[in-house]
Structure 1
Amino acid sequence: MNMIQAINSALDIAMGRDSEIVVLGEDVGFFGGVFKATEGLQAKHGKNRVFDTPISECGIIGVAVGMATYGLRPVPEIQFADYIYPALDQLVSEAARLRYRSAGEYTAPITVRTPFGGGIFGGQTHSQSPEGIFTHVAGLKTVIPSNPYDAKGLLISAIEDNDPVIFFEPKRIYNGPFDGHYDRPVTPWAKHPQAQVPEGYYRIPLGKAAVVRAGEAATLLCYGTMVHVALGVAEETGVDVEVIDLRTLVPLDIETIEASVRKTGRCIVLHEATRTGGFGAELAALVQERCFYSLEAPVERVTGWDTPYPHSLEWAYFPGPVRLTQALKRVMEG
């Protein structure tokens, strides 16, 4: 399966197991979603469980909060993460606080699916990476898969979780991984080991990172699309880099991070989002606090620029192999 097919399979299986799960959003019903992630679900599970909504992100999430309070498990889709901001108040002021403000009487088992990130020349209104905003909000969980196998297992876990989860889907790798070079075509998932996705039910627990490449020289922390950039640079440079795919930012698997950095003594944080206030700053601070006496060089950050996402200059914004290789050289010389 590619990632789209894996997400579709996760939704189908979860809905088959639990009649309280509903899918809602713009064009998710008859049309099957702009990226076809919900294709066929309405025909199979009915219009009462998979339905289209008006173009109102605040309304979509507001309705989902009400559904969750009533006892359903809504899975709303925000068509692009760039359009999630009108729904921010519903997520921050309602969904994230519901369990606490009701002393546990109510929960908000909502899984908000949304494509994020660049790589498809969508410009500044279809390419943003706003994950850092949501990791700042107590009560929200933030999940970002990097491959089809993880996408299915993590999405099922998110849907079954009793707390609200923001499930970011890196659309650049919906159909296949890549190594960050804009002049190379997308590699199909077909022969990738992590595209061997079981047809049936399985879960990947939230809060557990994956060491996708073991190494001794430096630790590279990343998630989503950037995992493939990291693996490509590790192979091209020949440096013995340990690549950690975080998979979930909140809850964060700090134990795996700490063990790796204590072993390698060097750390690079890689993400596509804007640098200032990005989740990489939190990771760098945590590594410094917990692993200071093990570090042989300052923690490096390779990120997007502090500018709106450009359309024509997308690959200059994208933190690709050149910038990552330069950072790797600096930490190895440190």
Structure 2
Amino acid sequence: MDRADIVHDNFLRRVAARDFPHGRLPEGPLSPFLAVAAYRAGCLTRALDRQSRVMQRAGQGFYTIGSSGHEGLAAVALALRPTDPAFLHYRDAAFQIARASQVPGQTPAWDMLLSFASSSEDPISGGRHKVLGSKALAIPPQTSTIASHLPKAVGAAYSIGAARRHRPEHAEYPEDAIVYCSFGDASANHSTAQGAFNTAQWTSFQSIPLPLLFVCEDNGIGISTKTPKGWIEASFAHRPGLKYFRADGLDIYQTYLVALEAADYVRRRRKPAFLHIGTIRLYGHAGADVPTTYLSREEVEAEEANDPLLHSVRLLDQAGVMTPDQALVVYEETNARVVRVADQAVTRPRLKTAVDVMASLVPPRRDCRPTNGPTAEARAAAFGGDMKAMAEPQIMSRLINWALTDLMLTHREIVMMGEDVGRKGGVYGVTQKLIHRFGPDRMIDTLLDEQSILGLAIGMAQNGFVPMPEIQFLAYLHNAEDQIRGEAATLPFFSNGQFTNPMVLRIAGLGYQKGFGGHFHNDNSVAVLRDIPGVILACPSNGPDAARMIRECVRLAREEQRVVVFLEPIALYPMRDLHADKDGGWMGLYPDPSEVIPLGEVGVHGAGDDLAIVTFGNGYYLSRQAEQLLAGQGVKARVIDTRWLSPLPKEALTAAVGGARRILIVDETRHSGGVAEALMAHFHEVTDVPLSRVTAEDSFIATGPAYAATMPSRDQIVAAALEMMK
């Protein structure tokens, strides 16, 4: 017999017999109206969990991870405001249902049953996944999160204070809001969670406003692995900068009282708090999970005997709010209503085509105030002596710096964050002077934790900012790539475009630094970024292009709400010469702030028909050198700068190679999984000319004299081109 049915039968029998588990008498400020609302939310939670299993057995439902045992979280929802953004644990159906009771016009049973049925009419995800979430309830969707939502909750909390100082055009949260973030006791051990706690404490320790309420729902087990008794309290009760509260989630009166105290502390003090709520888990982890395979029957039955709904009926009776008979009527009527509603929900349409599924990968455009750029006076004040230098050609890093200055003058919602971006001005000086031009509120020096840097950006983006986080080196992204893959890129997908977190992520990367750093500071793998649906990857090869492209990247984030990665080739930051010493061939003038390179536009140098060299980044620099040498041997070539690595600008590339009798791809990423694989496949599909490629080896990069040994060189490009000419 299914444990859900056993718990249901036990509830009916024990309420009828007045056989309730022992507990405290009801105390505290929970009003009769709210007490009934909390109980009703618990009943609906329980009925939905049972119905999800019925639907699955009938082949009509596709999700059975339930919230039974966590019904006490309804009392927490009622202690907060419905405008407080809530990043929820996947067992928080009771929280969402109770919050829905605070906002007119909500239909939580219908909404969740559509989600169970994967209906395209599901109002949060459009049938893409069963997620908790609601735009009207300020609940961004989370999937089966293992703590990956905690860093962005920290960022969202930080954004509330930041928005008080610089209100973004598209701000979402009230100025006195607090951010709610819940998770399980097992997830609290995850390194991502620990990083978020540490970042919150680090911020609080410096008296920086961070109105954040962490809520740990401690049911004592993660699937089959038990949490040691007392571990959560021992770990969190005495952390600096993080106030600890404890409540019994089986008691809605005490939970409401403590949640009020915790929320009041966070709201008044603008400091983070940790609310530890004891819960139980009923039915196992999910429908396919049989808890008696790893727990004794006695343990399972002991948990079931401590059913929080039985506690709630006892408490309501003792408070004189509702008799057990009345409570039983509510429970049975809720079950019957859920069955009726489910019968309709399973008939609603579902996604059928790839187009349907992918419709929300790219977020919708949003209306933005028109911007005419900064005034001449504002630019003169910001740039100072740099204005005169604009008349002379400059290196890439300086042109990026000037472009960032103009962008931050134009758009007050742009905020940069990262290790060393402020006072130091970046490892390579790309962001120097920006902290003096715009202040520490907009040039945020973070702690050394890439997950927290990206989480800060994601959370601030959800409150209307346009973040430009920096990861110092491409190799360091891998510490935190799930913040882009599992969080930033999926938010519009799982919310049907209702929630977004646009940003421009700047990363210094690729190779060719002469003798510096080895693999940890030279990483030529971008597969992890090109693999993420919906993410745009841009890679400039020279300073003027970099300035024009980063302007387009900001436009894409600000107006089209896209997640954009701007990959800056480290070795080209200081590059001055192209063919000969002191020829200045790789420096350029700063483009007028109105000039942009639109998404999908490629660069073409030369018009030769013998050979088209298709490349990007450092490869474009090397190919330009090779093109001159090839011309000396009678080979007429053109060099095409791809610029946009994901999505590939296929139409523009096809047009750019038109008329060329051969195509050589030069790719500084690796032979396996590199950009050349996609380029080769594309040109094979659209042309019938000979194709060849020069790529990096499948290797990490060495320090010292061998820094470029595994990478394409000018001479390799020339040799490959001459071989093709045969």
TM-score, structure 2 as length reference: 0.43
Q: Is the 8 A contact 1:57 1:83 kept in 2?
A: yes
The yes-or-no answer on 1:173 pairing with 2:572 is yes
User: Partner residue of 1:116?
Assistant: 509
Instruction: Report the Cα distance in structure 1 between the residues aligned to 2:502 and 2:510, rounded to whole angstroms.
Output: 25
**Selected match of 1:268 from 648, 659, 664:** 664
1:213 to partner: Cα distance: 2.2
Q: Is the 8 A contact 1:242 1:260 kept in 2?
A: no
**Selected match of 1:307 from 696, 699, 703:** 699
User: Partner residue of 1:244?
Assistant: 640
Q: Is the 8 A contact 1:149 1:195 kept in 2?
A: yes
User: Partner residue of 1:197?
Assistant: 590
1:92 to partner: Cα distance: 0.5
Instruction: Report the Cα distance in structure 1 between the residues aligned to 2:686 and 2:625, rounded to whole angstroms.
Output: 28
1:154-176 residue CA offsets vs partner (Å, 9 max, x unmatched): 11111221211111111111112
1:266 to partner: Cα distance: 1.1
User: Partner residue of 1:163?
Assistant: 562
The yes-or-no answer on 1:128 pairing with 2:128 is no
Q: Is the 8 A contact 1:127 1:309 kept in 2?
A: yes
Amino acid at match of 2:696: G
1:96 to partner: Cα distance: 1.2
1:226-256 residue CA offsets vs partner (Å, 9 max, x unmatched): 1111011111121111110011112322223
Alignment of 1:223-302 (within 5 A): 223-238=616-631, 239-292=635-688, 295=689, 297=690, 299-302=691-694
Unaligned runs of 5+ in 1: none
Identical-residue share of aligned pairs (%): 31
Amino acid at match of 1:241: A
1:133 to partner: Cα distance: 2.2
Q: Is the 8 A contact 2:630 2:637 kept in 1?
A: no
Alignment of 1:17-36 (within 5 A): 17-36=410-429
Rate the CA distance shift 1:160–1:261 in 2: closer, same or farther, 3 A.
closer
1:257 to partner: Cα distance: 2.0
Greater length-normalized contact order (CA 8 Å, ≥ 6 residues apart): 1
Superposition misfits of 4+ residues, deviation over 4 angstroms: 177-180
Q: Is the 8 A contact 2:548 2:591 kept in 1?
A: no
1:202 to partner: Cα distance: 2.8
1:201 to partner: Cα distance: 4.0
Q: Give the number of equivalent residue pairs.
A: 323
Q: Is the 8 A contact 1:24 1:60 kept in 2?
A: yes
1:259 to partner: Cα distance: 2.6
Q: Is the 8 A contact 1:268 1:300 kept in 2?
A: yes
1:44-100 residue CA offsets vs partner (Å, 9 max, x unmatched): 111111110111011111111111111110000111111111121000111112222
Instruction: Report the Cα distance in structure 1 between the residues aligned to 2:709 and 2:576, rounded to whole angstroms.
Output: 19
1:4 alignment partner, SS class: helix
1:127 alignment partner, SS class: coil
Instruction: Report the Cα distance in structure 1 between the residues aligned to 2:410 and 2:717, rounded to whole angstroms.
Output: 43
Instruction: Report the Cα distance in structure 1 between the residues aligned to 2:467 and 2:583, rounded to whole angstroms.
Output: 31
Q: Larger radius of gyration, structure 1 or 2? A: 2
Q: RMSD between aligned alpha carbons?
A: 1.8
The yes-or-no answer on 1:326 pairing with 2:722 is no
1:315 alignment partner, SS class: coil
2:545 alignment partner, SS class: helix
Instruction: Report the Cα distance in structure 2 between the residues aligned to 1:132 and 1:266, rounded to whole angstroms.
Output: 26
Alignment of 1:60-99 (within 5 A): 60-99=453-492
Q: Is the 8 A contact 2:475 2:521 kept in 1?
A: yes
User: Partner residue of 2:540?
Assistant: 145
Instruction: Report the Cα distance in structure 2 between the residues aligned to 1:153 and 1:321, rounded to whole angstroms.
Output: 27
1:263 alignment partner, SS class: coil
User: Partner residue of 2:249?
Assistant: none
User: Partner residue of 2:610?
Assistant: 217
Amino acid at match of 1:84: L
Q: Is the 8 A contact 1:109 1:159 kept in 2?
A: no
Q: Is the 8 A contact 1:74 1:110 kept in 2?
A: yes
Instruction: Report the Cα distance in structure 2 between the residues aligned to 1:71 and 1:99, rounded to whole angstroms.
Output: 15
Instruction: Report the Cα distance in structure 2 between the residues aligned to 1:43 and 1:178, rounded to whole angstroms.
Output: 31
Higher mean displacement: 168-177 or 277-286 = 168-177
1:178 to partner: Cα distance: 5.3
